A and B are shown apart, each in its own frame.
Chain A
Amino acid sequence: MGTYLQGKPEYDKKRKALLAEYKVPELQADWERKTLAAAANPGTDVPYDVAWDTVVKMVDGGKEILRLDPSQRTQKQQEKLTDHFVGFYMIPVGKERYEELKFPELKEKLEKLEAEYPGLSEAQTIAENPGSPKTHILIRGDYKQPGIEVQPGPLAVLNPLPQDARPTRLTLARWLVSKDNPLTPRVTVNRMWQEFFGRGLVETSEDFGTRGEPPTHAKLLDWLAMEFMANDWNVKKVHKLIVTSATYRQSSQTRKVLESRDPYNKLLARQSRLRLPAELVRDAALATSGLLNPEIGGKSVRPPLPAGVAELGYAGSVKWKASVGPDRYRRGLYIFFQRTTPYPELMTFDAPNSLLSCSRRERSTTPLQALNLMNDPVFFEAAQVLAARIMRETPGSVSDRIDYAFKLCLARAPRPQEKDRLLNYYRQQKEILGQEPESIDTLFPANNLEGVNAAEAAAWVGITRVLLNLDEFITRG
């Protein structure tokens, strides 16, 4: 027996006791009677008209459940209806009565009780609908204007379904990956190529149709598609094939002659420099400083938001309870996506708004990105922690430390000019901090590093902040 079933009898008992304590069975029976009466005679009891409307709109299968005799309902149906009743009894009886009955308190207790017991884990599954609904062409896309009835089938220009096959989802799945259908592997390898080169062999990775761009290297695309299928659709093998290729391993430096002949680098005579995607910009800063929590999977996290961001959601409905501890430093892809008020850094660096499907992202360069990298507490904290890391891990001279910082941030040694410029900046920072000694503690608040001079550490925060803001830091070279 699983944990859910083990805990269930006790949970049921406690829930029943709670509901009885707040007189839910009597009140709910009365509410059901009145709601059903309102449904039968609309317009006679307006508050219960609204109650009926809410059940219909908010409870999955609510209309049917409410019409069933309580003895005929499954336990799950009954619980669903009771939860709705407890949550929305205010609608017909008003706030005052709802509070007098202490329903807000009951609601809280029920939620707490539920959280105390292990939940039922549900697995989604698909079953074929025996009575498939009829499908019509919708005139101008309007669901209220159905045109002629249509049957399922692939586009005429593509390979047909096998003869005598019933047009089910399983048939579609088999058709998609059939050896006779080159489109699926082409589209798939093209999207992989796009991630490695910034542009697919077919640039319009979302559209291989007549309105899309023709491929720049049609034979290569075909060959990769065939390799993908021949290797049993193994994604990693294609990745390996691409990253070990001579094309991928080229330098991204441009040459004058290429600029005029192939300004957009479609022919791939060099690699492309690509700004990192939004999530990775944040990950890179956290990883370099050592703050990143690399944990895989689990629930989404909510890193702290600046005040006033969540408030732009509807009528204060967005509750952004900031994650604490290591969850604050999870990878960007785990950040909870609040549709009406998305995490600002994601939007600023061109993450899609998660409302439409998106096969390729824009890469824009805006002043808001600069402000974000310079001043967002996430990035500033990364600069502070990175400075501490460098001080701790390299006891040597400023010059040695610059070498190490460059290696951590850009995976290479600084060129002499770059080093000179940073040394120059370091001296300048020290001078400024000499004039503004009050800034030292704010820049480097947790100075518990042995033998480290606070002013020096604070100057280093300046250097790491510069490094984390370099174009090269947020660019794949």
Chain B
Amino acid sequence: MNLEYFKRIQTRRHFFQECVGGLGAVALWNLLEREGRTAASVEGLPKVNPLSPKPPHFAPKAKNVIFLYMEGAPSHIDLFDPKPEMKKWDGQPLPESMTKDLKLAFIKPNAKVWASPRVFQPCGQAGMEFSDYTPHLATCADDICMVRSMFTEQFNHHPGQLMFNCGTPLVGRPSMGAWVTYGLGSESQNLPGFVVLSSGTGTSAGSGNWSSGFLPSTYQGVTFRSSGDPVLYLSNPGGVSLKSQRAALDTIRDLNEQSYVNTGDLEIASRIASYELAFRMQAAAPELLDFSKESPSTLEMYGVEKEPTKPFATNCLLARRMIERGVRFVQLFHASWDDHTELNAHLKKNCEITDQPAAALLKDLKQRGLLDTTLVIWGSEFGRTPLVESRNPAKGSEGRDHHPFAFSIWMAGGGIKGGQIIGKTDEFGLNILEDKIHVHDLQATILHCLGLNHEKLTYRHLGRDFRLTDVEGKVVQRLLG
């Protein structure tokens, strides 16, 4: 190493150390950044960041994604796809012509029809119906694209979730967020590109839902936690102050730089960059979680400060703040909507938790001009049967079984045409009559909104080029704005 260089950084280092005591980590970082004292200081040592932004395949409408994943399969016929005709059939089995080939997870095809007790209102210019359990979402009807004709082949949760998030019921494949960050990198300089937030009881596919599969682990979803460190191991161990941490990092960096001089291994540049990014993350994550600069009206709109909305509202507000800071893909998991029993009570509870924050998220993104570039998706692995599941004869214990043949999701924002209803199911919500959309089609459409061609976003593994949509999927033009 060049002696002049070494002397120069030593003095500058000294200067920074003098400053640190009175400055927060962010300010310190900005100072370091401005001084250009980053990883690229040794001659020939490249500045690397595997997550630096990459160009899309074509001009995108959306830059970021917020995916509200409602684990466990919410009932489409009680929320978004009203079936008034069912009242006539309430308590009777379906006509035999409809149940001939019907195979369900737990109940028998001769189970009785259970008409939804919910009351629906047409809303917005399209007359989009919402049930009385989601009064807040109802006010967003003109921004929402309601899709009532989704289907999948998977009728159990774990494979269904993997299908929805990873494009295959098999375990071990990369998730949508991993594919997107692999394809586009991230705009954020100090936060992960793909973040996962969780509320409720945990999901049956667990971390498979945000796995990087066979892609490098750089692209895996990073879980922001609701208690303890927001990111695992973010805080320094006890006794290590900010000043002490910076001194340690400087020493690590200098020794790593010498290692580079001695070996010429470019991987060391990545190692040095990763420590600097980790340090920036230590400063940025607490700032991200600090809601003190949010206005009281914003906090109130989301329901951050009251139960039962608090956990989900916190995650929705965090999602917006992450998007503002350049995070590419934020996925919220809320579990569980798997209402085999007591559907009415459970659905009410989940709607009370999620309805207000989800609607607030749409409104907040819109008022900040972020909705045009942010794709918001609300969905789950499948829907629920129009037939009753009664594990217990007591009144109010009625539930519904898994239903992969037709279910509803909604989307809004970047690239999507709001205020429209796509698809039509029969009078029971049992089968799709118009505009069948497979999960792979939805995935192709999501990638399209981000400027990615789902057939070109591939990764070679085990001797073949894999992609999110496997060998299928068509972009659904009607969804696009």
Kindly state the separation between the CA atoms of A442 and B238 in the bound complex, as whole angstroms.
Answer: 6
Q: Are B203 and A466 neighbours in the complex by a CB distance under 8 Å?
A: no
Report which of A312, A365, A371, A421 forms a contact with B281, defined as CB distance below 8 A: A371
C-alpha gap A243/B206 in the complex (Å): 41
With A314-B202, A366-B274, A466-B252 known to touch, is A46 a contact of B390 (CB < 8 Å)? yes
A156 interface contact, C-beta 8 A: no
CA separation between A206 and B462, bound complex, in Å? 6
Q: Are B239 and A443 in contact (CB under 8 A)?
A: yes
Binds B, one of A22-30, A319-327, A468-476: A468-476
Most buried by A among B1, B201, B208: B201
- List residues of chain A with CB within 8 A of the CB of B278: 367-368, 370-371, 374
Contact B263 A253 (CB under 8 A): yes
Chain B nearest Cβ from A340, distance in angstroms: 3
Known contacts A43-B108, A350-B217, A365-B50: A255-B243 contact under CB 8 Å: no
For chain B, which range describes its interface: under 10, 10 to 19, 20 to 34, or 35 or more residues? Answer: 35 or more
Contact digits for A241-254, partner B, Cβ 8 Å, 1 yes 0 no: 00000000000111
Please indicate which of the listed interface residues B108, B245, B254, B278 has the most CB atoms of chain A within 10 Å of its own CB. Answer: B278
Q: A308-B228, A365-B271 are in contact. Are A253 and B108 (CB under 8 A)?
A: no
Q: Are B255 and A254 in contact (CB under 8 A)?
A: no
CA distance A298 to B14 in the complex (A): 52
Q: Is the CB of A308 within 8 A of B226?
A: yes
The residue that A273 contacts in the complex, of B201, B215, B216, B263, with Cβ under 8 A, is B263
The residue in A312, A377, A462 that gathers the most chain B C-beta atoms within 10 A of its C-beta is: A312
Contact check, B233 vs A372: say whether CB atoms are below 8 A apart. Answer: yes
Q: A43-B110, A273-B267, A466-B252 are contacts. A307–B258 as well, Cβ < 8 Å?
A: no
Say if the beta carbon of A216 comes within 8 Å of chain B: no
Q: Is the CB of A417 within 8 A of B258?
A: yes
CB of B17 within 8 Å of the partner chain: yes
Which residues B214-260 have CB closer than 8 A to chain A? 214-218, 220, 222-223, 225-229, 231-241, 243-245, 247-248, 250-252, 254-256, 258-259
Q: A259-B264, A471-B268 are in contact. Are A375 and B233 (CB under 8 A)?
A: yes
Map CB proximity to B onto A154-183 as digits: 1 under 8 Å, 0 otherwise. 000000000000000000000000000000
Judging by beta carbons under 8 Å apart, are A350 and B281 in contact?
no
Which residues of the other chain, A, contact B201 by a CB distance below 8 angstroms?
314-316
Please give me the residue from chain B that is nearest to A211 by CB atom: B463
* Closest beta carbon of chain B to A428's beta carbon, Å: 5
Give the CA-CA distance A465 to B211 in the complex, in Å. 30
Report chain A residues within 8 Å CB of B198: 312
Chain A contact patch, size range = 35 or more
Q: Which of A47-55, A70-78, A107-115 contacts B (4 or more CB under 8 A)?
A: A47-55
A400 to chain B: closest CB distance in Å?
19
Known pairs A371-B232, A439-B244, A471-B259; A49 contacts B172 (CB<8 A): no
Instruction: Assess the A465–B271 pair: CB atoms within 8 A.
Output: no
Task: Report Cα–Cα, A370/B198, bound state, in Å.
Answer: 24
The answer to whether A377 and B237 have CB atoms under 8 Å apart is: yes
A122 contacts partner chain B, Cβ-Cβ < 8 Å: no
Give the A-B pair count, Cβ closer than 8 A. Answer: 227
Binds B, one of A9-17, A59-67, A341-349: A341-349
**Residues of chain A within 8 A of B205, CB atoms compared:** 340
| A440 with B258: CB separation less than 8 A | no
The one of A312, A366, A443 in contact with B240, judged by C-beta atoms closer than 8 angstroms, is A443
Question: How many angstroms from the CA of A443 to the CA of B245 in the assembled complex?
Answer: 13
A42 contacts the other chain (CB 8 A): yes
User: Known contacts being A275-B267, A307-B227, A374-B278, is A50 close to B241, with CB within 8 Å?
Assistant: no
User: Which residues in chain A, 409-450, are within 8 Å of chain B measured between CB atoms?
Assistant: 415, 417-418, 421-422, 425, 428-429, 432, 436, 439-443
Interface hits, B43-92 → A, CB 8 Å: 50
Task: Name the residue on A nearest B213 (C-beta).
Answer: A353
Q: How many Å lie between the Cα of A415 and that of B254 in the bound state?
A: 13
> Measured between alpha carbons, how far is A300 from B95 in the docked complex, in Å?
54
Residues on the A chain within 8 Å of B462, using CB: 206-207
Shortest CB distance A421–B (Å): 5
Question: Given known contacts A207-B463, A370-B274, A380-B237, is B265 in contact with A254 (CB within 8 Å)?
Answer: yes
> Are B258 and A415 within 8 A (Cβ)?
yes
**Option from A211, A353, A364 in Cβ contact (under 8 Å) with B464:** A211
In the assembled complex, 23 residue pairs joining A and B whose CB atoms fall closer than 8 Å, in A order, are: A46-B390, A91-B391, A204-B463, A207-B463, A209-B463, A254-B265, A339-B206, A364-B50, A365-B50, A366-B217, A368-B222, A371-B234, A371-B282, A375-B234, A417-B1, A422-B251, A425-B250, A432-B243, A439-B240, A466-B248, A470-B252, A471-B256, A472-B259
Task: State the A residues within 8 Å of B (CB).
Answer: 42-43, 46-47, 49-50, 53, 91, 94, 204, 206-207, 209, 211-212, 252-255, 259, 273, 275, 306-309, 311-317, 339-342, 344, 347-350, 353, 355-356, 362, 364-372, 374-377, 380, 415, 417-418, 421-422, 425, 428-429, 432, 436, 439-443, 458, 461-462, 465-466, 469-472, 475, 477
Not counting A436-B243, A465-B248, a sample of 13 additional A-B residue pairs whose C-beta atoms are within 8 angstroms of each other reads A50-B106, A204-B463, A253-B262, A254-B264, A254-B265, A273-B265, A313-B202, A315-B335, A364-B216, A374-B248, A375-B237, A425-B250, A466-B255
